[in-house]
Amino acid sequence: MIRRPLWVRLLSFAVTLVLLWLPIGLSIFFLWGDGGTASFVNMGLLYLIFIALLRVWGQRVHQQRSPLGFYGLQGGWLFGRDALVGWLLAVGLVVLLFFVEGQLGWVQWHGTPDRFGLLLVEGLATGIGVGFAEELLFRGWLLQELELEYQPWFALGLNGLIFAVLHYLHPPEVIRATWPRFFGLVILGLSLGLGKWVFGRRLGFPMGFHGGLVWAYFGVKVGELVTYTGVAPEWLTGIGGNPIAGVMGVSLLGIVTLLLGYRAATAP
């Protein structure tokens, strides 16, 4: 089988996805507008089309009988166990980060607000959705396509870089305000890719780890559980209140990445 060059495959996939979604997306826009429920429905339909296209792509382009499994989306208890391990590790990291900062006097803890349980449920849905969607896209389809073209470690690094860059598709003023988290996003992308390698090339761990980070930070941020005291500089705790844009948060994430990297490099 003759495989087309990587960038031809990526561009072909992206253009096909847009062309399939565009008629539906434009119809929803003209009927409902572009905010609230319309935006949610549009994104949901886009992702359903993405999954359907991924199945066809894996079968036709890569001759895979189980295309979703080829990209790391597998069923079974191992997948669920991996996801749970990743979720618990992520939540533990967020709790540890704010606990240490609280002990150092860098943040002040507050009580839980009213309807905090409902907020956690909302955050749970957000975490599961983001973890599933972004990991199937980046560590599933994209990383697999990169590994077919390049050496594994180069593909992993490129995947992490693309992951970070695509989170900056914003107006220039937004990019300028949020640029400090770029390095943290690269490290996060590396850790998620390594997690896929370490856990049998399944997406369970990266989906769980990503979703757990979103859920835990959602609870702290939206629930207003802490406020920064100003004792420590922002570059240490996180510029703009985002831990992934600070030395403390990136250091904890870096430790996880190093441990996963060591495990991946020494695995038989």
Rounded Cα distance between 54 and 75, Å, is: 17
* Token code pair at residue 126: 């957000």
Rounded Cα distance between 8 and 15, Å, is: 10
Residue 76 has pLDDT above 90, yes or no: no
Tell which residue, 79, 93, 99, has the closest CA to residue 256.
93
- Which secondary structure element, helix H or strand E, spans residue 31, and what is its range? helix 6-32
Q: How confident is the model at residue 2 (pLDDT cuts 50, 70, 90)?
A: low
- Predicted confidence at residue 36, as pLDDT, reads 65
Residue at token pair 């780890």? 209
Instruction: Using the Cα atoms of residue 257, residue 260, residue 266 and residue 267 in order, give the sign of their dihedral.
Output: negative
* Token code pair at residue 222: 């939206």
- Predicted confidence at residue 31, as pLDDT, reads 72
Percent of the chain at pLDDT > 70 equals 97
- Which secondary structure element, helix H or strand E, spans residue 171, and what is its range? none
What residues pair up with 226 in beta bridges, in sequence order?
A: 109
Mean pLDDT of 82-109: 96
- Predicted confidence at residue 120, as pLDDT, reads 93
In this predicted structure, which of 6-20, 68-82, 112-126, 164-178 has the lowest mean pLDDT?
Answer: 164-178
Residue 206 has pLDDT above 60, yes or no: yes
Concatenating the DSSP letter of every residue in 60-127 gives HTT--SSHHHHTT---SHHHHHHHHHHHHHHHHHHHHHHHHHHHTTSEEE-PPPTTHHHHHHHHHHHH
In the chain, what is the straight-line distance between the N-terminal and C-terminal CA atoms, in Å?
30
- Predicted confidence at residue 3, as pLDDT, reads 67
The number of C-alpha atoms within 13 Å of 224 and in the hemisphere containing its C-beta is 3
Residue at token pair 């599961």? 128
Instruction: Tell me the average pLDDT of the chain.
Output: 91
Considering only residues 55 and 1, tell me which one the structure prediction assigns the higher pLDDT.
55
Which residues neighbour 164 within 8 Å (Cβ) at sequence distance 6 or greater? 182, 183, 185, 186, 189
- Predicted confidence at residue 176, as pLDDT, reads 80
Domain ranges, ordered by start, for the chain: 1-65, 75-266
Rounded Cα distance between 198 and 261, Å, is: 8
Residue 241 has pLDDT above 70, yes or no: yes
Rounded Cα distance between 165 and 162, Å, is: 5
Between helix 77-103 and helix 204-222 the angle, nearest 10°, is 40
In this predicted structure, which of 16-30, 35-49, 95-109, 186-200 has the lowest mean pLDDT?
Answer: 35-49
Tell which residue, 256, 266, 249, 262, has the closest CA to residue 100.
249
Residue 264 has pLDDT above 80, yes or no: yes
